[in-house]
Amino acid sequence: MRVPLFPLNAVLFPGGPLPLRIFEPRYISMISHCLQHESPFGVLLIRDGKETGPSTTHNVGTLARITDWYQGTDGLLGITAIGEDRFRLISTTRQDDGLHVGEVQLLENEPNLPLPDEYEEMASILAGVLDDLGRLYEPLDKHYDDASWVTSRFVEILPIDLEEKQRCLEQNDPIERLRIVRDLLAAGRN
Protein backbone atom coordinates (compact mmCIF):
# COMPACT_ATOMS: atom_id res chain seq x y z
CA MET A 1 0.00 0.00 0.00
CA ARG A 2 1.36 3.45 -0.94
CA VAL A 3 0.32 6.51 1.08
CA PRO A 4 1.47 10.12 1.39
CA LEU A 5 3.33 10.66 4.65
CA PHE A 6 2.95 13.47 7.16
CA PRO A 7 5.85 13.51 9.67
CA LEU A 8 4.72 15.23 12.87
CA ASN A 9 5.77 15.90 16.44
CA ALA A 10 2.71 13.90 17.47
CA VAL A 11 1.70 10.27 17.85
CA LEU A 12 -1.68 9.31 16.42
CA PHE A 13 -3.48 6.21 17.71
CA PRO A 14 -6.22 4.23 15.96
CA GLY A 15 -9.56 5.81 16.79
CA GLY A 16 -8.00 9.07 17.96
CA PRO A 17 -8.52 12.61 16.66
CA LEU A 18 -5.82 14.68 14.96
CA PRO A 19 -6.45 18.41 14.45
CA LEU A 20 -4.01 20.06 12.02
CA ARG A 21 -3.46 23.47 10.46
CA ILE A 22 -1.96 23.11 7.01
CA PHE A 23 0.16 25.79 5.35
CA GLU A 24 2.91 24.07 3.35
CA PRO A 25 2.02 23.69 -0.35
CA ARG A 26 3.04 20.02 -0.42
CA TYR A 27 0.61 19.19 2.40
CA ILE A 28 -2.19 21.37 1.00
CA SER A 29 -1.88 19.36 -2.22
CA MET A 30 -1.79 16.09 -0.23
CA ILE A 31 -4.93 17.03 1.72
CA SER A 32 -6.73 18.00 -1.49
CA HIS A 33 -5.81 14.65 -3.04
CA CYS A 34 -6.92 12.73 0.06
CA LEU A 35 -10.26 14.58 0.14
CA GLN A 36 -10.91 14.04 -3.58
CA HIS A 37 -10.09 10.33 -3.43
CA GLU A 38 -11.34 9.70 0.12
CA SER A 39 -7.95 8.19 0.89
CA PRO A 40 -5.85 8.24 4.05
CA PHE A 41 -2.40 9.65 4.71
CA GLY A 42 0.23 8.25 7.05
CA VAL A 43 1.28 9.97 10.28
CA LEU A 44 4.74 9.21 11.64
CA LEU A 45 6.49 10.63 14.71
CA ILE A 46 9.60 12.63 13.84
CA ARG A 47 12.72 11.07 15.33
CA ASP A 48 15.14 13.83 14.25
CA GLY A 49 14.45 17.10 12.45
CA LYS A 50 11.50 19.45 12.19
CA GLU A 51 7.98 19.39 10.82
CA THR A 52 8.80 22.12 8.30
CA GLY A 53 12.15 20.77 7.12
CA PRO A 54 14.14 17.61 6.63
CA SER A 55 13.42 14.90 9.17
CA THR A 56 13.73 11.23 9.93
CA THR A 57 10.82 9.34 11.41
CA HIS A 58 9.97 6.24 13.35
CA ASN A 59 8.90 3.28 11.20
CA VAL A 60 5.54 2.59 12.89
CA GLY A 61 2.72 5.06 12.36
CA THR A 62 -1.02 5.33 11.88
CA LEU A 63 -3.17 5.99 8.85
CA ALA A 64 -5.32 9.10 9.20
CA ARG A 65 -8.60 9.80 7.41
CA ILE A 66 -9.90 13.36 7.11
CA THR A 67 -13.32 13.79 8.72
CA ASP A 68 -13.66 17.59 8.63
CA TRP A 69 -11.95 20.61 7.10
CA TYR A 70 -12.33 24.38 7.19
CA GLN A 71 -10.66 27.54 5.94
CA GLY A 72 -9.43 29.58 8.90
CA THR A 73 -9.85 33.35 9.16
CA ASP A 74 -6.06 33.54 8.74
CA GLY A 75 -6.36 31.74 5.39
CA LEU A 76 -4.85 28.49 6.66
CA LEU A 77 -6.48 25.15 5.98
CA GLY A 78 -7.65 23.35 9.09
CA ILE A 79 -8.50 19.66 9.18
CA THR A 80 -9.52 17.03 11.65
CA ALA A 81 -8.52 13.45 10.90
CA ILE A 82 -9.20 10.21 12.75
CA GLY A 83 -6.60 7.50 13.22
CA GLU A 84 -7.31 4.21 11.49
CA ASP A 85 -4.86 1.32 11.11
CA ARG A 86 -1.31 1.15 12.39
CA PHE A 87 1.34 0.49 9.77
CA ARG A 88 5.03 -0.25 9.36
CA LEU A 89 6.96 1.90 6.88
CA ILE A 90 8.78 -0.28 4.33
CA SER A 91 10.29 2.40 2.06
CA THR A 92 9.84 6.02 1.02
CA THR A 93 10.24 8.11 -2.09
CA ARG A 94 10.35 11.90 -2.28
CA GLN A 95 8.24 13.69 -4.88
CA ASP A 96 9.41 16.85 -6.67
CA ASP A 97 7.23 18.99 -4.35
CA GLY A 98 9.00 17.53 -1.29
CA LEU A 99 6.16 15.25 -0.22
CA HIS A 100 7.25 11.81 0.91
CA VAL A 101 5.22 8.81 -0.18
CA GLY A 102 5.64 5.55 1.69
CA GLU A 103 5.22 1.92 0.90
CA VAL A 104 3.56 0.65 4.07
CA GLN A 105 2.48 -2.67 5.51
CA LEU A 106 -0.64 -2.60 7.66
CA LEU A 107 -0.19 -4.08 11.12
CA GLU A 108 -2.72 -6.46 12.55
CA ASN A 109 -5.49 -4.74 14.49
CA GLU A 110 -5.67 -5.49 18.16
CA PRO A 111 -8.71 -7.56 19.06
CA ASN A 112 -11.36 -5.94 21.23
CA LEU A 113 -10.37 -6.89 24.74
CA PRO A 114 -12.80 -6.33 27.61
CA LEU A 115 -11.44 -3.89 30.15
CA PRO A 116 -10.40 -5.94 33.20
CA ASP A 117 -12.31 -5.12 36.39
CA GLU A 118 -9.18 -3.85 38.13
CA TYR A 119 -8.97 -0.99 35.57
CA GLU A 120 -12.62 0.13 35.61
CA GLU A 121 -11.73 3.26 37.59
CA MET A 122 -9.52 4.33 34.67
CA ALA A 123 -12.51 4.24 32.31
CA SER A 124 -14.45 6.52 34.69
CA ILE A 125 -11.54 8.96 34.91
CA LEU A 126 -11.18 8.95 31.13
CA ALA A 127 -14.90 9.64 30.59
CA GLY A 128 -14.66 12.75 32.76
CA VAL A 129 -11.51 13.98 31.06
CA LEU A 130 -12.87 13.49 27.54
CA ASP A 131 -16.05 15.36 28.51
CA ASP A 132 -13.86 18.25 29.69
CA LEU A 133 -11.88 18.26 26.43
CA GLY A 134 -15.05 19.01 24.49
CA ARG A 135 -15.36 19.33 20.73
CA LEU A 136 -12.34 17.30 19.64
CA TYR A 137 -13.57 14.12 21.35
CA GLU A 138 -17.35 14.65 21.05
CA PRO A 139 -17.81 12.91 17.67
CA LEU A 140 -15.76 9.84 18.59
CA ASP A 141 -17.46 6.53 19.23
CA LYS A 142 -16.78 5.77 22.89
CA HIS A 143 -15.63 2.29 23.93
CA TYR A 144 -14.99 2.56 27.67
CA ASP A 145 -15.28 -1.22 27.98
CA ASP A 146 -12.41 -1.91 25.52
CA ALA A 147 -8.89 -2.04 27.00
CA SER A 148 -7.18 -0.96 23.78
CA TRP A 149 -9.47 2.03 23.25
CA VAL A 150 -9.13 3.21 26.86
CA THR A 151 -5.33 3.03 26.86
CA SER A 152 -5.03 4.67 23.45
CA ARG A 153 -7.11 7.66 24.56
CA PHE A 154 -5.14 7.99 27.80
CA VAL A 155 -1.77 7.88 26.05
CA GLU A 156 -2.99 10.54 23.58
CA ILE A 157 -3.94 13.03 26.26
CA LEU A 158 -1.39 12.39 29.01
CA PRO A 159 1.51 14.87 29.11
CA ILE A 160 4.18 12.26 28.55
CA ASP A 161 7.25 12.20 26.35
CA LEU A 162 6.56 11.56 22.66
CA GLU A 163 9.02 8.66 22.65
CA GLU A 164 6.96 7.03 25.42
CA LYS A 165 3.80 7.55 23.36
CA GLN A 166 5.54 5.99 20.36
CA ARG A 167 6.57 3.01 22.50
CA CYS A 168 2.91 2.55 23.45
CA LEU A 169 1.83 2.78 19.80
CA GLU A 170 4.29 0.04 18.89
CA GLN A 171 3.16 -2.09 21.84
CA ASN A 172 0.77 -4.89 20.83
CA ASP A 173 -0.46 -5.74 24.33
CA PRO A 174 -3.30 -3.52 25.62
CA ILE A 175 -2.98 -4.98 29.13
CA GLU A 176 0.68 -3.94 29.30
CA ARG A 177 -0.33 -0.44 28.12
CA LEU A 178 -2.98 -0.37 30.87
CA ARG A 179 -0.24 -1.07 33.42
CA ILE A 180 1.91 1.71 31.96
CA VAL A 181 -0.98 4.20 32.07
CA ARG A 182 -1.98 3.16 35.61
CA ASP A 183 1.62 3.71 36.75
CA LEU A 184 1.72 7.12 35.06
CA LEU A 185 -1.55 8.13 36.71
CA ALA A 186 -0.32 6.94 40.11
CA ALA A 187 2.93 8.87 39.69
CA GLY A 188 0.93 12.01 38.83
CA ARG A 189 -1.04 11.75 42.08
CA ASN A 190 2.13 11.63 44.17
- Domain stop point among 106, 129, 145: 106
SS (H, E, C) the chain: CEEEEEEECCCCCCCCEEEEEECCHHHHHHHHHHHHHCCCEEEEEEEEECCCCCEEECCEEEEEEEEEEEECCCCCEEEEEEEEEEEEEEEEEECCCCCEEEEEEECCCCCCCECCHHHHHHHHHHHHHHHHHHHHCCCCCCCCCEHHHHHHHHHHHCCCCHHHHHHHHHCCCHHHHHHHHHHHHHHHHC
**What pLDDT is attached to residue 151?**
92
Q: Are residues 19 and 78 in the same domain?
A: yes
- Domain stop point among 106, 130, 149: 106
**What pLDDT is attached to residue 38?**
96
pLDDT (tens digit per residue) in 127-184: 999 988 878 899 889 999 999 999 999 999 999 899 999 999 998 888 888 988 888 8
* CATH number (domain holding residue 76): 2.30.130.40
Q: State how many domains the chain has.
A: 2
Q: Are residues 101 and 183 in the same domain?
A: no
Q: Are residues 161 and 102 in the same domain?
A: no
pLDDT (tens digit per residue) in 95-106: 999 899 999 999
**What pLDDT is attached to residue 110?**
84
Q: Are residues 53 and 17 in the same domain?
A: yes
Expressed as residue numbers, the domain containing 154 is 117-189
- Domain stop point among 106, 130, 145: 106
Mean pLDDT for 39-59 is 92
